[in-house]
Amino acid sequence: MGIIRVLEQQLANKIAAGEVVERPASVVRELLENSLDAGARNITVDVERAGRKLIRVADDGCGMDEADAAMSVERHATSKITDEADLFRIGTMGFRGEALPSIASVSRLLMRTAPEGAEHGHEFNVVGGEAGEPVPVATVGTTVEVRDLFFNTPARRKFLKRDQTELMHIVETVTKLALSHPGAGFTLTVEGQPTVDLPRARDLHERLVQVYGTEFVEELVGVSRHEGPLKVEGFVSPPSGLRETRTHQLLFINRRPVRDPSVSHAVFSAYDAPKGLHPVFFIFLDIDPEIVDVNVHPAKQEVRFSDKSGLYRFVRRAVGEVVRPLSGGEYLSQEDAAFPAASSAYGSDNASVYAYEHANASPSGTFGVSEALPGSYGEAGGFAGNFRAQLPFVYLGETFIAYPEVKGGKGGLAVLDHHAAHERVLFEQLLDGLRMESKRLLFPRQVQLSKKEHMVVLDNLEMLAEFGLEVEDFGGDSVIVRSLPGPLEEADLRGILSEAVAAILEGDKPGRSIQEAVAARVACHSSVRGATVLGPEEFNALLEQLDRARDPEHCPHGRPTRLRFSFEELRKLFKRS
């Protein structure tokens, strides 16, 4: 009897904070959302000790008068909705009225604000959930200072990751909101150092360029479609620009960065991409608030739609209509795959011509013929050693190449997965490259990275140098690359760095070092990129390098590099034995 009580205000706030304020970046997100809702044109974020010591967000938005300011830190106090019907037409980032009281309950909060056009404003501390005595100050807009986050919730404090990680989340939060609000200017300083600086931009394209650099954005194609209550704008990879990772896949619904596997899949499905390849996408959906429920996640990172499959088809159509015309046989749809148009997938060379021309090529080897002129197919003396006849081969389409199996002299058929084989060879070369010579670039190249990539790269300069990737900070999220591992292509420095970063972020796993992870990813990326038709010499060189590899039969992901059918097996398959 009498054991049920209504929770004391401050305790209730702390419980709400558990959901809303997970880490310093959550505070940054909530405060930025408030500034954006207040119509700010310029927002400054300052953090110290990755936000543990200080998070300060200052805006030039509409501000608040003394009474509203005091009210704003009360639980369920909001100016954004008044009745239940409003919940179904939310046009602001916030609406729960929970952020400020929650944050105030787990930190020492100071608010300084002045209503638009006022001579002066007020400043007050929030102590124990209560607004303290307001002091008049000269100020514009609103500044919220959050100090000593989680000072009174040691358990939450303990769950925080390294400063570097927390900082990365903060940078990501600022970047995402900046992408969905190109019209506002954002600056972030870390320990007083300017870290993100995004002046007000004209549109999404300009904002993307500010964040990712021209080189990256130029590769993307625009998406834009409007059907009834659904509208989409954005930028996506062309079919030729798919990657091994799912990085840079951002989805916004009514300007909120959200996760939604179904919509993400709709984008992906527009490509008919081979397994394991993913597009980059920045998709901004604008949906009539009546048919999207944003009130399903305390931190507002998920939403719910009334017509999920309609939305799926809409997104797929919108992306498909721009990427399909570009696909030019790059990736064939399932129906076409059985009869690949070799001419479009592999340049104008007809696969059967290859087989015919080279089937009778004279034997040649790389052993014992060093005097022979390059490209000469003369009689090779000394058939000993690891001599290999120049084998005929046929491109079957996709990444498969058939050639006669001669190993052990038994004969048969072998089918090589060109991509997997190349990957295995590159992977080992990269790992060996830890000791190998690297290729010095004649002209060091400047590469623009995203903020997060830049941070990770700077954090791992030494490891990258071990791979022969000599990189230096060049300020403003860009780096200078001075050398790269011998077998890699200079043309794709950004992609290479991006893959290395993704592998580093994934970290090591049991039985696989971080170096191996980096080598595997970079090898995979580079071998896809470099997928061209091999000439006879290149094909034979690849086979030879593969045979020299430590694990020639598997790509770094463990998939087979080739399948072999001995005559015996072929006879069995043809039911001749």
Q: Which residues bind ligand ADP (CB under 6 A)?
A: 30, 34-35, 38, 59, 61-64, 72, 77-80, 94-100, 142
Tell me how far, at minimum, the Cβ of 13 lies from ligand ADP, in Å: 11
CA–CA separation, 238 and 331 (whole Å): 11
| Exposure string for 223-244, b = 16+ CB within 10 A, e = fewer | bebeeebbbbbbbbbbbebbbb
Closest among 121, 87, 105, 97 to 37, alpha carbons compared: 97
Backbone φ and ψ of 69, nearest 5°: -60, -45
Q: Which does 450 bind (CB under 5 to 8 A by kind): ligand ADP, Mg ion, none?
A: none
CA pair distance 458, 465, nearest whole angstrom: 11
Residues that bind Mg ion (CB under 5 A): 34, 94, 99
Query: 93-98: long-range contacts (C-beta < 8 A, 24 or more apart)?
Result: 93/33, 93/34, 93/36, 93/37, 93/255, 93/256, 93/300, 94/30, 94/33, 94/34, 94/37, 95/294, 95/295, 96/295, 96/298, 98/16, 98/20, 98/298
Query: Cβ-closest residue to ligand ADP?
Result: 94
Shortest Cβ 331–ligand ADP spacing (Å):
44
List CB contacts of 175: < 8 A, sequence separation 6 or more. 196, 211, 450, 451, 452
Question: Which of Mg ion, ligand ADP, none does 187 bind, CB closer than 5 to 8 A by kind?
Answer: none
**For residues 59 and 499, which CB has a smaller minimum distance to ligand ADP in the complex?**
59
Instruction: Name the binder of 244 from ligand ADP, Mg ion, none, CB < 5-8 A by kind.
Output: none
Q: Which residue of this chain has its Cβ atom nearest to Mg ion in the complex?
A: 94
Closest to Mg ion by CB, 34 or 210: 34
126 binds, among ligand ADP, Mg ion, none (CB under 5 to 8 A by kind): none
CB of 291 to ligand ADP, least distance (A): 22
* CB of 299 or CB of 441, closer to Mg ion: 299
Q: Looking at beta carbons only, is 54 or 100 nearer to ligand ADP? A: 100
Report how far residue 492's alpha carbon sits from residue 226's, in angstroms, rounded to the nearest whole number. 35
The entry of Mg ion, ligand ADP, none that residue 35 binds, CB within 5 to 8 Å by partner kind: ligand ADP
Q: Give least dist CB 141 to ligand ADP, A.
A: 7
Tokens of 5: 């009580």
The bridge status of strand 54-59 relative to strand 142-147 is antiparallel
Q: Is 414 helix (H, G, I), strand (E, B) or coil?
A: strand
Nearest distance from C-beta of residue 257 to Mg ion, angstroms = 15
DSSP string, 222-251: EEEEEETTEEEEEEE--GGG-BSS--SEEE
Give which of ligand ADP, Mg ion, none residue 430 binds (C-beta under 5 to 8 Å, depending on kind).
Answer: none
- 142 touches, from ligand ADP, Mg ion, none (C-beta below 5 to 8 Å by class): ligand ADP
Torsion of CA 14, 16, 20, 21, to 10 degrees: 10
Q: Closest separation between CB of residue 70 and Mg ion, Å?
A: 16
Least CB distance to Mg ion at residue 130 (A): 19
Report the distance separating Cα 546 and Cα 532, nearest Å: 17
61 binding partner (options ligand ADP, Mg ion, none; Cβ < 5 to 8 Å by kind):
ligand ADP
From the list Mg ion, ligand ADP, none, pick the one residue 49 interacts with, judged by a Cβ distance below 5 to 8 Å according to partner type: none
Q: Closest Cα partner for 270 from 234, 238, 317, 222?
A: 317
229/298 with CB nearer Mg ion: 298
The tokens describing 529, both together, are: 């990129």
Residue number with CB closer to Mg ion (99 or 217) = 99
Nearest to 253 by CA among 263, 245, 239: 263
Specify the residue, 79 or 152, whose C-beta has the smaller distance to Mg ion.
79
Minimum distance of Mg ion from residue 94's CB (angstroms): 3
Smaller CB separation from ligand ADP, 92 or 438: 92
Closest by Cα among 541, 521, 317 to 431: 521
CA quadruple 86, 91, 96, 98: dihedral positive or negative? Answer: negative
Q: Residue 75 or residue 278: which is nearer to ligand ADP going by CB? A: 75
Q: Which residue number, 96 or 419, has a Cβ lying nearer to ligand ADP?
A: 96
CB 500 within 8 A of CB 469: yes
Residue 257 binding: pick among Mg ion, ligand ADP, none (C-beta 5-8 Å cut-off by kind): none
Q: What is the DSSP letter of 472?
A: E
Minimum Å gap between C-beta 469 and ligand ADP is: 43
